[in-house]
Amino acid sequence: MVSAAEQLAANLNFSAFGKADELKKRIWFTLGALLVYRLGTYIPLPGIDPSAWEQIFRTQAGGILGMFNMFSGGGIHRMAIFALNIMPYISASIIIQLMTTVSPTLEALKKEGESGRKIMNQYTRYLTVMLAAVQAYGIAIGLEGTGSVVSDPGMFFRISTAITLTGGTMFLMWLGEQITSRGIGNGISLIILAGIVAELPSAIAGTLELGRQGALSTGLILLILVMAVAVIAFIVFVERAQRRLLIQYPKRQVGNRMFEGQSSHLPLKLNTSGVIPPIFASSLLLLPTTVANFNAGKGPDWLSAITTQLGHGRPLFLILYIALIMFFAFFYTAIVFNPTETAENLKKHGGFIPGIRPGERTAEYIDYVLSRITVVGALYLAIVCLIPEILISYAAVPFYFGGTSLLIVVSVTMDTVAQVQGYLLAHQYEGLIKRSKLRGRDR
């Protein structure tokens, strides 16, 4: 027999969307907020020469600046007031998560529920301000060091740049929180998604132009399109993949009533770490190249030798990239998922895994399963992230296909679509309840 929830899910269509006024308001609010963000990426910092920075950026586009420019939606390329984007907030969130494993105070706050979460969010905001201020001041010094970008270098330029860029990051953090509460989807993730997607049309147009000029063959362009569809399908499949552990609950008596034992599942995602491993791995590998480019002709010989070997497509780069992705996949999974805590929560509520003793043995079994599926998840991340490196190095594809950007786009899109379906489902439930009440009154 099909359940009511399954029937409702099957009946979700555009007519239901047209009747969901609350959902439409949320979507329009989200689109308006993202439009404000995109406008901000075109407002340049005061006191700089955009044409001079354009020439310098082209020489650095292959390093870490190119990766951060992708996340900022071209904000670094244009050196806009949103050049830092939301990255300091993400860094602060990760640092706070790391500190919960070493700080008893933060660990206690994490277990306090909603009140503890609010305090940790406040700590994250404070740390975001500090990180953004330091990074913004560093950007100001770096711009002055170029010699031709800043029209009037000095302390006033440094302070004004630090305030402007920090204010831009804090505004985006507030905008993301507003999207989360009053719009649809996760606001911070949608801001990053909007930045990545905004650069996609120009990249596709450039590729088609190269095809028209004969630099890229028609067969290669078609192969890229087929690969894009295949990689997206692969990402969707893996991101939805779960290893479900059977959880049994024994019979229990409440008053004079006896409740039968129930069973449920503990879902373990194949890719628990998300997109954090590729971001960290790319940042570490691109940092030496960026430093060497900024000090062209001035750095030591060993730094030049390292940056040469760490070029895109080089064997050393590919080996280190895979190794760092694997390391950060295990490292971040260990931070965000605690098998001991999960086992204790199951024991408190009377749940157990059949054939496994509750408590320590359950924690060891969960850790055993999680370690093995993390190997598969890390290999999946490595495969998806190696595709663009191979295309750029050996097929001369001029834009970054796949990798971290594609992971973010697909993951955020899946989460947003799931939220839209949740709102539609809730709306249809409300409609069924209202109709049933009216029928009851008529009777």
CA angle 415, 421, 423 (to 5 degrees): 105
Question: Percentage of the chain with pLDDT > 70?
Answer: 79
CATH number assigned to the domain comprising residue 109: 1.10.3370.10
What pLDDT, on the 0 to 100 scale, is given for residue 401? 55
pLDDT digit string, tens, across residues 271-322: 888 888 888 887 777 766 666 655 555 556 666 677 677 766 677 888 888 8
Rounded to the nearest angstrom, the gap between the alpha carbon of residue 368 and the centroid of all alpha carbons in its chain is 27
- Where does a domain end: 200, 234, 255? 200
Q: Give the CA distances from residue 24 to residues 21, 184, 429, in Å, rounded to whole numbers and listed in that order.
A: 5, 10, 17
Token pair of 37 as six digits: 């963000």
Residue 308: how many other CB atoms lie within 10 Å: 12
Which residues lie across from 264 on neighbouring strands?
247
Give the separation between CA 172 and CA 168, rounded to whole angstroms: 6
Residues 186, 234: one domain?
no
Q: At what angle do helices 403-442 and 360-394 cross, to 10 degrees?
A: 120
pLDDT digit string, tens, across residues 158-201: 999 999 999 999 999 999 999 999 988 888 889 988 888 887 77
Residues 170, 250: one domain?
no
| In a domain? residue 92 | yes
What pLDDT, on the 0 to 100 scale, is given for residue 93? 86
| In a domain? residue 268 | yes
Residues 389, 436: one domain?
yes
Residues 323, 355: one domain?
yes
Give the separation between CA 280 and CA 414, rounded to whole angstroms: 23
Say how many domains are in the chain: 2
Residues 141, 286: one domain?
no
Whether residue 126 has pLDDT greater than 80: yes
Token pair of 303 as six digits: 């730094």
Q: How many CA atoms lie within 13 A of 123 on its CB side?
A: 17
Give the separation between CA 355 and CA 335, rounded to whole angstroms: 27
| In a domain? residue 2 | no
Residues 311, 420: one domain?
yes
- Where does a domain end: 151, 166, 200? 200
Which of 6-10, 82-86, 417-421 is predicted with the least confidence, judged by mean pLDDT? 6-10
pTM of the model: 0.79
Q: Give the CA distances from residue 254 to residues 241, 262, 341, 351, 378, in Å, rounded to whole numbers and listed in that order.
A: 37, 15, 27, 17, 45
Which residues, at least 6 apart from 29, have a Cβ–Cβ distance to it below 8 Å? Answer: 179, 182, 183
Q: Residue 121 in 3-state DSSP?
A: helix
| In a domain? residue 399 | yes
Token pair of 430 as six digits: 């409300």
Which contacts (CB < 8 Å, 24+ apart) does range 117-121 have?
Answer: 120/96
| In a domain? residue 208 | no
Whether residue 1 has pLDDT greater than 60: no
Which residues lie across from 44 on neighbouring strands?
80
Longest dimension (CA), the chain: 89
For CA atoms 33, 273, 72, 140, the dihedral sign is positive
Which element (helix H / strand E) includes 243?
A: strand 242-249
Residues 276, 169: one domain?
no
| In a domain? residue 70 | yes
Average pLDDT over residues 234-261: 78
Residues 194, 237: one domain?
no
Average pLDDT over residues 395-419: 76
Q: What are the residue ranges of helices labelled H in 214-314?
A: 218-240, 276-294, 301-309
What pLDDT, on the 0 to 100 scale, is given for residue 193? 87
| In a domain? residue 9 | no
- Where does a domain end: 200, 235, 268? 200
What pLDDT, on the 0 to 100 scale, is given for residue 3? 43
Token pair of 294 as six digits: 């900024």
List the one residue out of 168, 166, 143 whose CA is nearest residue 154: 143
Cβ atoms of 329 and 377 closer than 8 Å: yes
Q: What are the residue ranges of helices labelled H in 146-217?
A: 155-182, 187-213
Which residues, at least 6 apart from 163, have a Cβ–Cβ distance to it below 8 Å? Answer: 136
Q: Give the CA distances from residue 133 to residues 49, 57, 130, 204, in Å, rounded to whole numbers and listed in that order.
A: 22, 22, 5, 35
List the one residue out of 227, 391, 384, 383 whose CA is nearest residue 313: 391
Classify 355 in phi/psi space as left (phi over 0), alpha (psi -120 to 50) or beta.
Answer: left
Confidence label for 349 from pLDDT (cuts 50, 70 and 90): confident
Residues 152, 238: one domain?
no
Residues 181, 106: one domain?
yes
Confidence label for 368 from pLDDT (cuts 50, 70 and 90): very high
Cβ atoms of 164 and 45 closer than 8 Å: yes
3-state secondary structure 353-407: CCCCCCCHHHHHHHHHHHHHHHHHHHHHHHHHHHHHHHHHHHCCCCCCCCHHHHH
Structural domain span for residue 329: 222-443
Classify 12 in phi/psi space as left (phi over 0), alpha (psi -120 to 50) or beta.
Answer: beta
Confidence label for 390 from pLDDT (cuts 50, 70 and 90): confident
Residues 277, 158: one domain?
no
Residues 182, 228: one domain?
no
Whether residue 230 has pLDDT greater than 60: yes
pLDDT digit string, tens, across residues 11-66: 445 556 566 778 888 899 999 999 999 999 998 888 888 888 888 887 766 556 66
| In a domain? residue 16 | no
Give the separation between CA 318 and CA 310, rounded to whole angstroms: 8
Cβ atoms of 369 and 245 closer than 8 Å: yes
